[in-house]
Amino acid sequence: MGRRKKKKEIEYPEGWSVSFEYQANGRNLQPGTELSIKNERGRFKFVKHVKTENSEWIDVIGGPPKSKMFRSFGVDRVKTVHWKNRIKSR
């Protein structure tokens, strides 16, 4: 049996504020919370919220069925925060 690799902490650029909780549409988002994005098909799972001096966005995973991908959207594009999760976890 081989050795396990140590997990490295991700270093973000100076001036970036990264959090794994965010509030949108009166609901608290935590990693795994499903949401819909304006003008995008499918559901997305919240990953993290990033804020810099000039901009603010959320990172998500998801999209149309059978074409999941990692995406970033401005916080103003959050359309709906869903109560029930539909996306199957692997």
Predicted local distance difference test score (pLDDT) of residue 67: 85
Predicted local distance difference test score (pLDDT) of residue 56: 96
Task: With beta carbons less than 8 A apart as the criterion, state whether 37 and 45 touch.
Answer: no
List, for residues 10-53, the tens digit of each pLDDT value.
888 899 999 999 999 899 999 999 999 999 999 999 999 999 99
pLDDT interval class at 86 (50, 70, 90): confident
Return the structure tokens found at 83.
């109560």
Per-residue pLDDT for 88 more than 70? no
CA–CA separation, 71 and 76 (whole Å): 15
Predicted local distance difference test score (pLDDT) of residue 2: 75
pTM of the model: 0.83
